[in-house]
């Protein structure tokens, strides 16, 4: 048997030390990864719990109000006509809010399931905007907020896009503006149509958004500046959903805002009137609600 030299023994010892050091480093890296995954799992569970809690409140609160007001109307046969109208208006307002929240939740679930269809139709975009503001008129009036239009005319403006998705996009932007603008101010809606692109700007006159938060507001479940937000409003799906739908339609959204100077959200979408684009669909899930890919 050939004996090993001192040099060979040292080299072999160093090789084994290096192997163990590498194995230790790999184990440490694996532990770090596992700790990171565990933190993200905890955060995902927290987000899921908060979302479900907020979504439940957004459904139960208006539903409870509707049931209570409806019962009060049916139980009191001698109510004055003015009081009947007041309670009926409150029922309508709560129903509008419930309908708005349902649409956001259902749309998010469809994205998660990969069941999103794009359907292009010709429709009047100016009338679509005015239908939405009419829907939110009572909510705005309760805050003494009025809508101001720019770029609108008595004539129709027919464009081709997905009216259902564009409606939900605009509902989110306009509802946010109504909720965040200061009492007694305006929500400005400006529309332009140029070179087969439609641009709609929705401006509120509220507390504004810090530049550091401009990207974060498009993250799922994010609600910034809770001290100035309308209490109990929203579950953090509206703006992420808006951005997703706009990208699906080939559009984009931009934000111009600074603290104490209000916010302007500008969306741009292509008018496909002169194209041959057909309807389509998304056939795979997008992990819109709870993104499992973020764990790794």
Instruction: Please report, rounded to a whole number, the percentage of residues in the chain having pLDDT higher than 90.
Output: 43
pLDDT digit string (tens) for 35-65? 888 888 887 777 777 767 777 777 888 899 9
What percent of the chain has pLDDT above 70?
85
- pLDDT at position 52, please? 74
| pLDDT digits 0-9 by tens, 133-171 | 999 999 999 999 999 999 999 889 999 999 999 999 999
**Cα separations (Å) of 170 from 121, 141, 208, 227, 239?**
17, 19, 19, 25, 10
pLDDT at 132: 96
Is the model more confident about 290 or about 267?
267
| Helix H or strand E segment including 58 | helix 6-75
**Is a pLDDT exceeding 50 seen at residue 227?**
no
User: Between residues 293 and 33, which one has the greater pLDDT?
Assistant: 33
232: pLDDT strictly greater than 60: no
Between CA 165 and CA 189 the distance in angstroms is: 18
Asked if the model's pLDDT at residue 10 lies above 80, the reply is: yes
Q: Domain map of the chain by residue range?
A: 117-295
d(CA 90, CA 96): 10
283 has pLDDT over 80: no
Q: What is the mean pLDDT of the chain?
A: 84
Task: Note the pTM of the prediction, 2 decimals.
Answer: 0.73
Spell out the residues 6+ positions from residue 211 whose beta carbon is closer than 8 angstroms to its own. Answer: 257, 258
- DSSP codes, 273-289: TTS----EEE-S----S
Q: What is the DSSP string of 59-120?
A: HHHHHHHHHHHHHHHHH-TT--HHHHHHHHHHHHHHHHHHHHHHHHHHHHHHHHHT-EEE--
Measured CA to CA, the distance from residue 203 to residue 148 in angstroms comes to 10
Q: Coil, strand, or helix at residue 154? A: coil
The pLDDT-based confidence of 229 (bands split at 50, 70, 90) is very low
CA max distance for the chain: 113
What is d(CA 67, CA 265) in angstroms, rounded to the nearest whole number? 35
Give me the CATH topology for the region 117-295. Heat Shock Protein 90 (3.30.565)
Pairing of the two strands 186-194 and 146-150: parallel
């Amino acid at each position: 048997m050939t004996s090993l030299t001192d040099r060979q023994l040292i080299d072999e010892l160093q090789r084994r030390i290096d192997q163990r050091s590498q194995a230790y480093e790999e184990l440490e890296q694996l532990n770090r990864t596992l700790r990171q995954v565990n933190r993200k799992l905890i955060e995902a569970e927290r987000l899921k719990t908060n979302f479900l809690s907020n979504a439940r409140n957004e459904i139960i609160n208006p539903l409870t109000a509707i049931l209570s007001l409806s019962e009060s109307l049916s139980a009191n046969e001698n109510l004055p006509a003015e009081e009947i109208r007041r309670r009926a208006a409150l029922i309508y307002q709560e129903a509008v809010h419930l309908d708005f929240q349902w649409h956001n939740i259902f749309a998010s679930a469809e994205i998660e399931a990969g069941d999103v269809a794009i359907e292009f139709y010709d429709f009047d975009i100016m009338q679509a905007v005015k239908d939405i503001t009419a829907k939110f008129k009572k909510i705005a009036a309760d805050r003494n907020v009025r809508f101001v239009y720019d770029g609108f005319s008595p004539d129709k403006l027919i464009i081709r896009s997905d009216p259902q998705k564009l409606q939900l996009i605009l509902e989110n932007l306009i509802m946010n503006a109504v909720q965040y603008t200061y009492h007694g101010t305006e929500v400005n809606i400006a529309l332009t149509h140029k070179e087969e692109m439609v641009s709609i700007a929705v401006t509120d006159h509220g507390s504004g958004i810090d530049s550091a938060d401009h990207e974060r507001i498009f993250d799922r479940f994010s609600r910034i500046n809770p001290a100035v937000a309308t209490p109990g409003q929203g579950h953090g799906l509206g703006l992420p959903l808006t951005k997703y739908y706009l990208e699906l339609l080939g559009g984009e959204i931009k934000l111009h805002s600074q603290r104490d100077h209000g916010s302007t959200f500008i969306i741009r979408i292509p008018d496909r009137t002169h194209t041959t684009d057909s309807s389509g669909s998304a056939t795979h899930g997008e992990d819109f609600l709870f993104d499992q890919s973020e764990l790794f």
